[in-house]
Structure formats: structure tokens, C-alpha cells
């Protein structure tokens, strides 16, 4: 079988021994179909037995082998070397530990901070005694329409790739994290769960409104889950249970109110409705610039044509949700 020479530039660091990390190059002939994990194993078996990485199932199911390949978190066992070479147009692949975690050694990171956050969101079903039968003879049914709301989130393999790519995690240590908050939502809409929408309070405690909707979590998930969707819906549930006294919820309600009033976003009233007078003062320089450049509307906005139709569509969408 034809092989292609590929250089693996691998992050090496043993905090117990090294002052700082370095990168070491390993060149090897790569046949078609070889995965990054197989390449790492080849290097360990044949070139450098000190290389450390984590893996188990080799089938993209245990979530333990996530590493950064040319800057992007991926499962080493699911990613083929030659596909990456093709994609990046280079025979040099940089392999590093995923971000947002302390490095234990080489490509192995310490997941504990993220797993601790997961523990704190009660990531399991708390059976509702009104719904879940007390005996094994009776069924606990979940209907297709109910399952559809959370089915995709049950595919999470806890690989932590989304956490490693998350912008909010980078800037806020207290932020719950994408897979953790998505799991909160998963149980919040499970009809068998006792806490249900009350789980949104956990999201609030973990700063879910700090998610910046960059969608990186969705981009990197090897199971095609969009944790951000769960987080947005968890925010919605928090509004439903009356948790509106925070800038995030007020911002959403200000958008909604604007559209109900006129079908247009009232950018002048938005900071006032979100943060009160403080919002006006904070946004004054930007507001003045927008007015001077003709980018801001007057605070008195005339309803758009078909305004009533828009309001009807919005209300219907809310009912479907």
C-alpha cells in the first residue's frame, strides 16, 4: 500500500521534570486510513516510548482521546491522518493537548475541573414519583415528541472537546461549560425528571447567560451535538419560571418587546430596557456615534407593514416551542 511521509509535531511536557513545554517532531510513513491515534501509538511503540496520551475504545465512543490537531480539538481515534494532511495542505501536523485544562503530561489533560462542574449540575435523572412507576412491572414511557426534545444530547460522550473550545470558559472560570449546561437542559425537558424546569436555576448559578453564542462548541463536537442550542433553551426555561431579573433575561425580553411593538429592533431602548439608566450611560458614546452615522433609529419606531402577521408568527412559534 502506498504510504505518505508525515511529520507529527507533538507537544511534550512533563510538569514534574520540565521547566516549559516543547515540541518534538516524529516522521513516519502513513498508509491510507491510519488514524491520528494509530500514528501516536506507532510513535510510542517504535520511536519514543515516553510519549503519553489517553485513549481507550478506539471507536469514538469513550471520549478519552480528544487532542488538538493543527489547532482544532478532535478525537484522535476518529480522525484520519491523510484527511487532515489534505485539509490543511501540509505534511506537518501539530498535535497538542486540548485547551482550557491543565496538562498532566504531554497530550493528557486533567479533566477534573470540568467533571466537577458536571457533578454539580446533577447530571442524572431524578425520578418524579408522579410519573415514574414504583414497580419494575410498570413502564416509564417517553413519547417520541418528548424524546425529540432531548434525544441528541444523550449522544454526548463527554469528550470535553466543546469545553476546550468554549470562549465563555476561557474568560469566566465560573461558567458551567457547554456539555454540562446542555446536560442540564437534557434533564429539564425529560418528562420523568422531578426537577424539570427548576434545573434552569442551576444554569443561572453557572452563569449560562455568559455564553456568547460563538457556536464553537457545535463546530467541534464529534457527535454533531450543538450544546449551545441546549443552553439557549435552558435560558428560555429560566425566563418561563420567572427568573427575569438579570441583564441576559432582560436583554431577551427587550428584543421580544421591541418586535411585538413594531416588528423592528428598537436599538435606542434596548440598553435602557436591559440595564436601566446605567445601560444608557454605558452605551452613550456608541449611541451618539450610531446616530451620527445614521445607524440608529429614533426611539419612536413606526410599526412595519405586516406587523400583525409577524406578531402572529412569533406567538405561533412560542406555542410550538
Would you tell me which residues interact with ligand FES (CB under 6 A)? Answer: 55-58, 60-65, 75, 77
**Residue 60 interacting entry, from ligand FES, ligand SF4, none, C-beta within 5 to 8 Å by type:** ligand FES
**Residue 146 interacting entry, from ligand FES, ligand SF4, none, C-beta within 5 to 8 Å by type:** none
Residues 110 and 160: their CA atoms lie apart, in Å, by 11
**Residue 221 interacting entry, from ligand FES, ligand SF4, none, C-beta within 5 to 8 Å by type:** ligand SF4
Tally Cβ neighbours within 10 Å of residue 252: 18
**Residue 156 interacting entry, from ligand FES, ligand SF4, none, C-beta within 5 to 8 Å by type:** ligand SF4
Which residue, 167 or 262, has its beta carbon nearer to ligand SF4?
167
Which residue, 63 or 271, has its beta carbon nearer to ligand FES?
63
The answer to whether 277 and 317 are in contact (CB under 8 A) is no
* Nearest distance from C-beta of residue 75 to ligand FES, angstroms: 5
**Residue 301 interacting entry, from ligand FES, ligand SF4, none, C-beta within 5 to 8 Å by type:** none
* Nearest distance from C-beta of residue 43 to ligand SF4, angstroms: 25
The answer to whether 173 and 77 are in contact (CB under 8 A) is no
Residues 298 and 133: their CA atoms lie apart, in Å, by 58
Which residue, 63 or 227, has its beta carbon nearer to ligand FES?
63
**Residue 237 interacting entry, from ligand FES, ligand SF4, none, C-beta within 5 to 8 Å by type:** none
CA dihedral 275, 281, 284, 286 (to 10 degrees): -60
* Nearest distance from C-beta of residue 72 to ligand SF4, angstroms: 12
**Residue 160 interacting entry, from ligand FES, ligand SF4, none, C-beta within 5 to 8 Å by type:** ligand SF4
- Residue 51's SS3 state is coil
Residues 155 and 150: their CA atoms lie apart, in Å, by 10
Q: What grid cell was written down for 209? A: 447567560
Which residue, 56 or 124, has its beta carbon nearer to ligand FES?
56
Which residue, 156 or 269, has its beta carbon nearer to ligand SF4?
156
Sheet containing 22-31: order of strands? 22-31, 3-12, 92-96, 66-69, 72-75
* Nearest distance from C-beta of residue 150 to ligand FES, angstroms: 22
Residues 243 and 237: their CA atoms lie apart, in Å, by 9
**Residue 313 interacting entry, from ligand SF4, ligand FES, none, C-beta within 5 to 8 Å by type:** none
Q: How far is CA 34 from the centre of its chain?
A: 29
Q: Which residues are bridge partners to 197 per DSSP?
A: none
Pairing verdict, β 3-12 and 92-96: parallel
Q: What grid cell was written down for 203? A: 444554569
- Residue 189's SS3 state is coil
Residues 259 and 238: their CA atoms lie apart, in Å, by 21
Q: Which residues neighbour 58 within 8 Å (Cβ) at sequence distance 6 or greater?
A: 37, 65, 77
Footprint of ligand SF4 (CB under 6 A) = 63, 156-162, 165-168, 178-179, 211-217, 220-221, 223, 225, 227-228, 231
* Nearest distance from C-beta of residue 74 to ligand SF4, angstroms: 10
Which residue, 215 or 261, has its beta carbon nearer to ligand SF4?
215
* Nearest distance from C-beta of residue 163 to ligand SF4, angstroms: 7
Which residue, 41 or 238, has its beta carbon nearer to ligand FES?
41
Which residue, 227 or 279, has its beta carbon nearer to ligand SF4?
227
Amino acid at each position: 500500500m502506498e504510504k505518505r511521509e508525515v511529520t507529527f509535531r507533538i507537544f511534550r511536557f512533563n510538569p514534574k521534570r520540565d521547566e516549559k513545554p516543547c515540541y518534538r517532531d516524529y516522521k513516519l510513513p502513513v498508509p491510507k486510513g491510519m488514524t491520528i491515534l494509530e500514528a501516536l501509538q506507532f510513535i510510542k511503540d517504535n520511536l519514543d516510548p515516553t510519549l503519553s496520551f489517553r485513549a481507550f475504545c478506539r471507536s469514538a465512543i469513550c471520549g478519552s482521546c480528544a487532542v488538538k490537531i493543527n489547532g482544532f480539538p478532535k478525537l484522535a481515534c476518529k480522525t484520519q491522518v491523510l484527511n487532515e494532511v489534505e485539509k490543511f495542505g501540509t505534511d506537518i501536523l501539530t498535535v497538542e493537548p486540548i485547551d482550557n485544562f491543565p496538562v498532566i503530561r504531554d497530550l493528557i489533560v486533567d479533566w477534573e475541573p470540568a467533571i466537577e462542574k458536571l457533578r454539580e449540575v446533577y447530571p442524572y435523572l431524578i425520578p418524579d414519583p408522579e410519573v415514574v412507576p414504583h414497580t419494575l412491572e410498570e413502564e416509564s414511557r417517553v413519547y417520541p415528541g418528548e424524546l425529540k426534545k432531548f434525544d441528541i444530547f444523550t449522544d454526548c460522550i463527554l469528550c470535553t472537546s466543546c469545553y476546550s473550545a468554549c470562549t465563555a470558559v476561557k474568560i469566566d472560570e465560573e461558567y458551567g461549560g457547554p456539555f454540562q449546561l446542555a446536560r442540564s437542559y437534557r434533564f429539564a425537558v425529560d418528562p420523568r425528571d422531578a426537577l424539570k424546569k427548576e434545573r434552569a436555576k442551576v444554569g443561572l448559578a453557572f452563569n449560562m447567560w455568559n455564553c456568547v453564542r460563538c457556536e464553537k462548541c457545535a463546530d467541534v463536537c464529534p457527535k454533531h451535538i450543538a450544546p449551545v442550542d441546549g443552553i439557549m433553551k435552558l435560558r428560555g426555561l429560566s425566563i418561563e419560571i420567572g427568573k427575569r431579573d438579570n441583564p441576559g433575561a432582560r436583554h431577551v425580553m427587550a428584543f421580544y418587546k421591541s418586535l411585538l411593538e413594531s416588528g423592528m429592533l428598537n436599538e435606542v431602548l434596548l440598553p435602557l430596557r436591559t440595564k436601566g439608566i446605567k445601560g444608557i450611560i454605558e452605551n452613550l458614546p456608541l449611541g451618539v456615534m450610531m446616530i451620527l452615522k445614521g445607524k440608529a433609529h429614533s426611539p419612536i419606531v413606526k410599526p412595519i407593514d405586516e406587523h400583525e402577521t409577524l406578531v402572529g408568527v412569533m406567538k405561533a412559534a412560542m406555542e410550538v416551542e
